[in-house]
Structures are given as structure tokens and as C-alpha cells.
Chain A
Amino acid sequence: MNIAVCVKQVPDTEAPIRIRADGRGIEEGGLTFVPNYYDEHAIEEALRIKERLGGAVTLITAGPGRAVEALRAGLAMGADQAIHIQDAALEAADHIVLARLLAAAIAPLSCDLVLCGRLATDDNAAIVGPAIAEFLGLPQATAVTRLELGQGTARVHREVEGAVEILELSLPAVITVERTINEARYPSLPGIMKAKRTAITVRTLADLALAPDDLGPPRVELLSLTPPPRRQAGRILEGEPPAVVKELVRLLHEEARVL
């Protein structure tokens, strides 16, 4: 079974960020970038399927030069090959445009399965996976917590409001995964050595037989990033527990009026 996994390189969620002076992005100097956490679970799922059924796992990213490190991390986990889409057109791309590019790179691979993380932890968009499914003309399942493969089919679990939905879909398909689907492995030392030697295929818009007009203009535009409003730290209630609890309920009832 051949599997493509989409990977995004994102700032480490633990790291503080500095917003650029023009407000249109963040300062990258000194910032640590890592593979998107959910994508690691997608890679893990792909590797487990490969270990059971054979086939190849291909990683695909679209991003600047530094994004190659996310591909190397996935190769070190055990993926077989990697494609890096690099093009000036990426600068202005919105998520739908990005999905069109990724779909163009995935289409020639004749995959049985395309796996993505549920979302990327930098922009939380959760757009690219289902949009790739549309551009490839494939069925989709999103935010999947469990994946079982049958003959040309997949059976998945999804968290919906107040229930777990069990969905059956035909393959090939695009599936985005939730973090609880598996425990992602760490790269092995031999894996890291092998990843260093693996050639990464670079693709431009022209390589993908796309012209800038094929992508269409981006339909959304980031106007600004600002720090979140600071919450005022409130009041610490002091005293013996029974008195403190009485006072808390009084405040919630009379001051906050939420009870």
C-alpha cells in the first residue's frame, strides 16, 4: 500500500513568538521550527500500515528551504522518500491554493491513502487536508482517532459532538488524524543517518505543470497579528475553606452574575 503523508514545519509551540514590526508575520530569527505534531502521528500511522502491508511512504511538504528539516525528521522515523515544493508563489498562497499544489504533487504517486494531521499547530486552519481530497477527487475522513483497513476500504472512528462516529469509506481516500490515533515513535539513530543520505525531490510550480493562473488568486489575506488581550489577574480569595467557598459562590452570583 502506497501512502502519501503531508507534513508542515511549524514553530515549536513551547517557544515564545515575536510579532514582526509590520504585523504581517512573526520574526523567525532564533525561533525553533519542528514538524507539526499531528503530522508526526500521520507519519506514524503510515509507517505502521507499511510495516504490516508493505509499500512506500512518501512525505510531501510545501514551504521555504528550512521546511526540509521536517521532511528529514519524517524520513528519520522511517519514511521512504520526500518531496519538497518550493516556489515563490507559496508566499501569497492561501490554504486552498496550497492544497492545490500539494494535490498536484500527490496525484502522480498513485497512492492508496493520503494522510494528514488534523490541523497545523501554527495557524490551526484544518483546511488543507479536505481541500486536497477535493482536488484529488477522493473521499475524506477528518479528525480520525482510529483507522482500520479492509479490502479497498477503510473503517475509521471520528469524534463528533457527544459521540464517536464510525465511518466506512472507499480507498483511495484522504484521512486527517487526531493525536490519539497512536503514539508516534522517535527517530532511530540509523534512521537519522539514512535520512541524511536520502535525496529529497524539489518541485516548483513549473515542475508540477502548474502556471500561477492555475492556482487562482488567494481569497483571504492576513491583515495583522497582535498579541492577545491580557487578562487581568483577578482576586485570590483567602481564609478557611468553608468561608472562601461561601465568598466564591457569592461573587459568582452577585458580581459575575453567572450563577
Chain B
Amino acid sequence: MSRDVWVLAEHTDGHPRKVTLELLSKARDLAAALGGRVAALVLGESPAPLARELGARGADAVFVAEHPLLATYTTDAYTAVISPLVAREQPSLLLIGSTAAGRDLAPRLAARVRAGLVTDCAAVDLDGGRVVVTRPVMTRKAIARVAFRDGGLRIAVVLPNVFAPAPADATRAAQVIPVPVTLDPGAIRTRVAGMTPVARETVPLTEADIIVSGGRGLRGPENFALLKDLAAALGAAVGSSRPPVDSGWVPHDYEIGQTGKTVNPQLYIACGISGAPQHLAGMSSSRYIVAINKDPQAPIFGVASYGVVGDLFQILPLLTAEVRKLKAAQAG
């Protein structure tokens, strides 16, 4: 087995996803400690131009798998390309972002090549030569430390927004290694028949630096407009706790918590959210939490960095205006 650390490079609109940049940055630290190299693995219809950016962000080598059948992610095609490659190159560790594709692929790949696999990783460290990961479990009522055992590839599926991406270094150039791809169209048993964009203000929730989130206290779907205004002023994404989803005010795509998404932004603004354990499970590792709620006893105040007890219908428009003022001053 090599000492190399690999990153599965996901990309959208010709650029690596944010989580890919985060993983490359972490891979540099791990590879330096292991005495190995960082390799990115990129698949697509014509992904070769991404190699420059992946190199600038930390990859020493970029494996490029190019094929029309790799234009969109499918389990069968990705597994067929990646499994022989990792069997031949034997990286020590493969980091995959916890995205829809990453979570779909990693177990399939691990089962095929009999890799060790841990998902939802919030930390990846070396401890006396072992790779040890940390992940929240049991509605975040416990944090598990899990070690990989020797005997083959290790795959860690890592939550977005956990590691800071390294700044781009244009002087770094990665070695580009083409991956021979032979794909039998008949062996790809899923076909992407459509992609319907979910109307979103900005970035996907899991990648957002700032999230403005609403709960039952918003009283109705129309009041999410208050959150959207604040989010627009902040450049934030809008999320929700579970009740607005169950009431049909917003799609499930918005939900943060045990039965929705796990997020890790710099700033989480909880509006009219009481702070049930199932919601806290998805957001309580946010760096700063602001709670706006009219009930001073709401459990959300127990995790909030800054709490405002009051009427969100009065406070949100004031907050939006105040943020706009700050942003205008910053721009000026």
C-alpha cells in the first residue's frame, strides 16, 4: 500500500466543489504526516481542465477519467472506473465529500474493494500511525471515535464545511495522469432522466458559510420571505427545522436536523426555532449561533452564542436593514 492520500474531486460548472477544496487542504496535512502524496481523482465528460485548479489547491497528482458516460454521476459507472484504479494504485486513504453522490458511491465502492468505510466524519486524524475519525452519533448525544484497521483501502466520507480550504497557489502544478476508461453502456443500470433545480437563494445549505433558518415560530410559508430578505442581505442560505417541512411550508430540501441535513456554517441564525434535540443534532456544531425566539425558556438559547428574546416579525426586518447598512459601509 502507498502512503498517498486521495481526494475524490467533485465538480460543478467547471470548478471543484467547495468540499473538494476542503478535503484537498486536509489531505495535504495528512499526506505530509504520512510521507505520501496528495492525489485528486476527477471523473467527467471532459474534466481535464480542472487539473490546474486541483493542483493549485493542493493535489500533487490528478487522475483524470474522461468519458461521455461519466458526464453525470451514476453509481455503476463511477464504481466501475474507480474500483480497479484504487486496487492498482493502493492509496492509503480516500477522502470523499458527504454529498448526494459521495454518500451513494462510498458504500458501493467499499463493498466492492472491501475497504474500511466511515461516513459523516467531522475530523480525520493520525494517531500513532492509525487513521482515526470522529463522527456524531445518536442524535449527536455522543461523539464516536472510530479507527480504521489495516488490510486495505480506507475511505472516509467527510462532512462539508469542516476543514478550511487552502488558498490557491498558482505556482503549484499537478502531474496529470490519464485513467484508461472502458465502460459498457449496458452495465450502467441507472439513467439520469432529469434534474429539476430547487429554487434556492444562494449556495447549497451544506456549503453555506451563513444559514438563516426558520421554525414553527414563522407561523406560515409566506413569512419565509422575511428569512429570504435577511439571507439576501447576508449572502446566506435559507434552511428550516422540521415543523415547516411537515406543514408543507418549504420542501424537505430545506430541513436541518436528524431527519434532514447536518450543517456546519460559521454563523447559524435560528428564527422561531425552539431547539428540539432532533434539530440541534443537525446544527449545534455551527461556529456561532444566533437565536431569535419569543420564549425565553426555549432550549435553543442553551446553545446560542447570542440570544434575542422577542418577536421575530419585529426583529427580522430591523436586522435585515442593519445588515444592509453594514454591507453598504463595507462595500464603500
B86 is an interface residue with CB less than 8 A from chain A? no
Q: Are B149 and A237 in contact (CB under 8 A)?
A: no
Contact of B148 among A14, A37, A220, A229 (CB under 8 A): A220
Stretch at the interface among A74-82, A161-169, A204-212: A161-169
B90 is an interface residue with CB less than 8 A from chain A? no
B146 is an interface residue with CB less than 8 A from chain A? yes
Report the count of interface residues on B (CB-CB < 8 A).
91
Interface residues as binary, A228-259 with B (CB distance below 8 Å gives 1, 0 otherwise): 11010111111001101110110111001011
- Interface class of chain A by DSSP: mixed
Given known A143-B100, A162-B200, contact A26–B193 (CB-CB < 8 A): no
Q: Are B305 and A235 in contact (CB under 8 A)?
A: yes
CB-defined contacts of A223 to chain B, threshold 8 Å = 132, 145-147
A219 is an interface residue with CB less than 8 A from chain B? yes
Interface residues as binary, B94-125 with A (CB distance below 8 Å gives 1, 0 otherwise): 00000111011011101110111111100000
Measured CB to CB, the closest approach of chain B to A181, in angstroms, equals 10
A68 is an interface residue with CB less than 8 A from chain B? no
Q: Are B306 and A224 in contact (CB under 8 A)?
A: no
Q: Are A168 and B190 in contact (CB under 8 A)?
A: yes
Stretch at the interface among A52-60, A104-112, A134-142, A194-202: A134-142
B137 is an interface residue with CB less than 8 A from chain A? yes
Q: Are B277 and A13 in contact (CB under 8 A)?
A: yes
Q: Are A170 and B112 in contact (CB under 8 A)?
A: no
Nearest CB to that of B284 among chain A residues? A231
A89 is an interface residue with CB less than 8 A from chain B? no
Interface centre among A220, A221, A235, A253, by most chain B C-beta atoms within 10 angstroms, is A220
Q: Are A169 and B190 in contact (CB under 8 A)?
A: yes
B20 is an interface residue with CB less than 8 A from chain A? no
Given known A221-B146, A225-B143, A248-B290, contact A237–B308 (CB-CB < 8 A): yes
Interface residues as binary, A170-211 with B (CB distance below 8 Å gives 1, 0 otherwise): 100100001110000000000000000000000000000000
Q: Are B198 and A162 in contact (CB under 8 A)?
A: yes
Q: Are A124 and B143 in contact (CB under 8 A)?
A: no
A149 is an interface residue with CB less than 8 A from chain B? no
- Interface class of chain B by DSSP: mixed
B225 is an interface residue with CB less than 8 A from chain A? no
Q: Are B108 and A131 in contact (CB under 8 A)?
A: yes
Q: Are B103 and A259 in contact (CB under 8 A)?
A: no
Given known A14-B277, A161-B100, A220-B148, contact A124–B120 (CB-CB < 8 A): yes
CB-defined contacts of A178 to chain B, threshold 8 Å = 252
| Assembly CA distance A141 to B311 (angstroms) | 43
Given known A162-B198, A218-B149, A249-B326, contact A235–B138 (CB-CB < 8 A): no
B221 is an interface residue with CB less than 8 A from chain A? no
Q: Are B204 and A166 in contact (CB under 8 A)?
A: no
A129 is an interface residue with CB less than 8 A from chain B? yes
A160 is an interface residue with CB less than 8 A from chain B? yes
Q: Are B290 and A129 in contact (CB under 8 A)?
A: no
Q: Are A258 and B287 in contact (CB under 8 A)?
A: yes
Nearest CB to that of B292 among chain A residues? A248
Measured CB to CB, the closest approach of chain B to A216, in angstroms, equals 6
Q: Are B204 and A161 in contact (CB under 8 A)?
A: yes
Q: Are B193 and A166 in contact (CB under 8 A)?
A: yes
A1 is an interface residue with CB less than 8 A from chain B? no
CB-defined contacts of A142 to chain B, threshold 8 Å = 100, 103-104
Measured CB to CB, the closest approach of chain B to A123, in angstroms, equals 5
Measured CB to CB, the closest approach of chain A to B303, in angstroms, equals 5
Q: Are A219 and B152 in contact (CB under 8 A)?
A: yes
A95 is an interface residue with CB less than 8 A from chain B? yes
CB-defined contacts of B12 to chain A, threshold 8 Å = 161
| Assembly CA distance A222 to B132 (angstroms) | 10
CB-defined contacts of A19 to chain B, threshold 8 Å = 142
Q: Are A219 and B148 in contact (CB under 8 A)?
A: yes
Stretch at the interface among B22-30, B212-220, B313-321: B313-321
Given known A233-B301, A248-B290, contact A259–B323 (CB-CB < 8 A): yes
A34 is an interface residue with CB less than 8 A from chain B? no
Contact of B322 among A121, A166, A238, A249 (CB under 8 A): A249
A90 is an interface residue with CB less than 8 A from chain B? no
B151 is an interface residue with CB less than 8 A from chain A? yes
Q: Are B118 and A139 in contact (CB under 8 A)?
A: no
CB-defined contacts of A167 to chain B, threshold 8 Å = 190-193
Contact of B259 among A37, A159, A236 (CB under 8 A): A37
CB-defined contacts of A217 to chain B, threshold 8 Å = 149, 151
Contact of A166 among B111, B145, B148, B194 (CB under 8 A): B194
Given known A231-B302, A233-B302, A234-B304, contact A249–B138 (CB-CB < 8 A): no
B258 is an interface residue with CB less than 8 A from chain A? yes
Interface centre among B118, B207, B210, by most chain A C-beta atoms within 10 angstroms, is B118
Interface centre among A13, A133, A246, by most chain B C-beta atoms within 10 angstroms, is A13
B50 is an interface residue with CB less than 8 A from chain A? no
User: Beyond the given A219-B149, A227-B143, A258-B288, could you list 12 further A-B residue pairs with CB under 8 A, ordered by the A residue number?
Assistant: A13-B138, A130-B108, A155-B193, A162-B197, A162-B204, A166-B195, A167-B193, A168-B193, A221-B148, A244-B308, A245-B308, A256-B288
Q: List 7 A-B contacts (CB under 8 A).
A: A19-B142, A127-B110, A160-B100, A167-B192, A167-B193, A225-B143, A245-B308
- Which are the 10 A-B pairs with shortest beta-carbon distances? A219-B116, A139-B189, A134-B111, A166-B194, A130-B107, A160-B100, A234-B305, A131-B111, A245-B318, A161-B204
